[in-house]
Amino acid sequence: MKKELNLTVNGQPYELYIKPKTLLVEVLRDHLGLTGTKRGCNSSSCGACTVILNGMSVKSCSILALQADSAEVLTLEGLANGAELHPLQKAFLDHGAFQCGFCTSGMLMSAKTLLDENPKPTAEQIKEGIDGNICRCTGYNSIIRAITDVVKGEYKEEK
């Protein structure tokens, strides 16, 4: 019954043996112990489980892991570059763009995808970019300010 799954997560290749009904989020959290990605609902609505699959933001609770066979997945644990935080992480810290932190993983993944696809989004596009992610704590505006600052180049590394 179990099937082989090969996928790369945060640059690391994995070979797993899983039940077909296993969701991608379960592979990440339960099999690989990467608990940064969260689950907040059972109706594919909240976005807390958002990860980046082959460069696209997706809800990992709504993808069968086997459908991600051979894919490259990025989770929050892979966002920083070693000890160097990603500009979005720094911006989130500076702007208080999170409070309880439970939605933050999904939020950062959506924000990263937004900027990867479009480095200069408009204010409306930024809002659209995170509209699939519910936050119950911040009221979103601090998150939008954080992303806006990254877009403006406030966190460009000094060369």
Partner 1 sequence: MIRDFEYLAPKTLEEALTLLSKYGEECKIIAGGQSLLVLMRQGLVAPKYLISIKGVSELNYINYDAKKGLRIGALTPHRAIENSPVIQNGFTALAEMERRLASIQTRNWGTIGGNLCHADPAGDPAPVLVVLKATLKMQSLDGERTMASEDFSLDYFETALGPGELLTEIQVPVVSPHTGTAYTKFNVIESDLATVGVAVSIILSSSNSACQDVRIALGASAPTPMRAKQAEEVLRGKKITDALLTEAGQIASTEADPISDIYASEEYRRELVKVLVKRVGKEALARAKQA
Partner 2 sequence: MSKYSVIGTRVRRVDGPEKVTGNAKYTFDMVLPNMLYGKILRSPHPHARILNIDTSQAEKLIGVKAIVTGKDTLGRKQGIWRRFSELCDEEILCRAKVRYIGDPVAAVAAVDEDTAEEALDLIEVEYEPLPAVFDPMEAIKEEAPQLHEGAELNINVTRHIEWGDVDEAFRQCDHIREDQFKCSSQAHVCMETHDAVASFDYNGKLTVWTSTQSSYYIQRLLTDMLGLRESDIRVIKPPTGGGFGSKFELDSAQFCASVLSMKLCQPVKIVLSREEEFTATKRRTPMYYSVKLGAKKDGTLLAKEVRVITEGGAYTGMGATALYLTGFFSSFPYKYPNYRYDGYRVYTNTAPTSAMRGFGAPQSTFVGESQIDMIAEDLGIDPIEIRRKNGMTPNYEVPGQAYIQSCGLHQCLDKLEEQIKEQGKLPANHGIGVSAYGFMSGGIFNWFDTPYAFSSAIVKINIDGKVDLFTGACEIGQGSDTTLSMICAEELGVRLEDIRIYAGDTGICPVDLGAWGSRETLMNGNAVKMAAADAKRQLLEFAAAKLGANIVYDLEIKDQWIHLTDRPERGFSYFDIVKEAIRGRDGEVIMGRGHYTPHRKGMISPAYSFGVQAVEVEVDTETGRVKLVNVTTAHESGTVINPVGIEGQLEGAIMMAGGYGFCEDQPMDGGKILNPSIADYKLIRSLDMPKTKILPIDTYEPEGPFGAKEAGEGLTNPTAGAIGNAVYKAVGVRITDLPITPEKVLRALKKKQKQNK
| Contacting positions for partner 2 (CB under 8 A) | 29, 33-46, 48, 75-77, 79-80, 85, 89, 92-96, 98-105, 108, 127-128, 130-131, 133-144
Give the contacts of 102 (CB within 8 A, at least 6 positions apart). 38, 40, 48
How many chain residues touch partner 1 (CB under 8 A)? 30
17 in helix, strand or coil? strand
DSSP sequence for 107-157 = HHHHHHHHHHH-SS--HHHHHHHTTTS--SSS-SHHHHHHHHHHHTTTTPP
Contact of residue 138 among partner 2, partner 1, none (CB under 5-8 Å per partner type): partner 2
122 binds partner 1 (CB under 8 A): no
Which of 7, 9, 23, 103 is the binder for partner 1 (CB under 8 A)? 23
129 binds partner 1 (CB under 8 A): yes
44 binds partner 1 (CB under 8 A): yes
CA 76 – CA 35 distance, rounded (Å): 9
Which of 21, 80, 123, 141 is the binder for partner 1 (CB under 8 A)? 21
- Phi/psi-derived region of residue 44, left when phi > 0, alpha when psi is between -120 and 50, beta in every other case: left
Contact 97, 146 (CB under 8 A): yes
| Minimum gap (Å) between residue 136 Cβ and partner 1 | 14
- The residues of the shown chain that bind partner 1, judged by CB under 8 A, are 1, 3, 19-21, 23, 42-44, 47, 50, 53, 56-59, 61-64, 66-67, 69, 110, 113, 128-129, 131-133
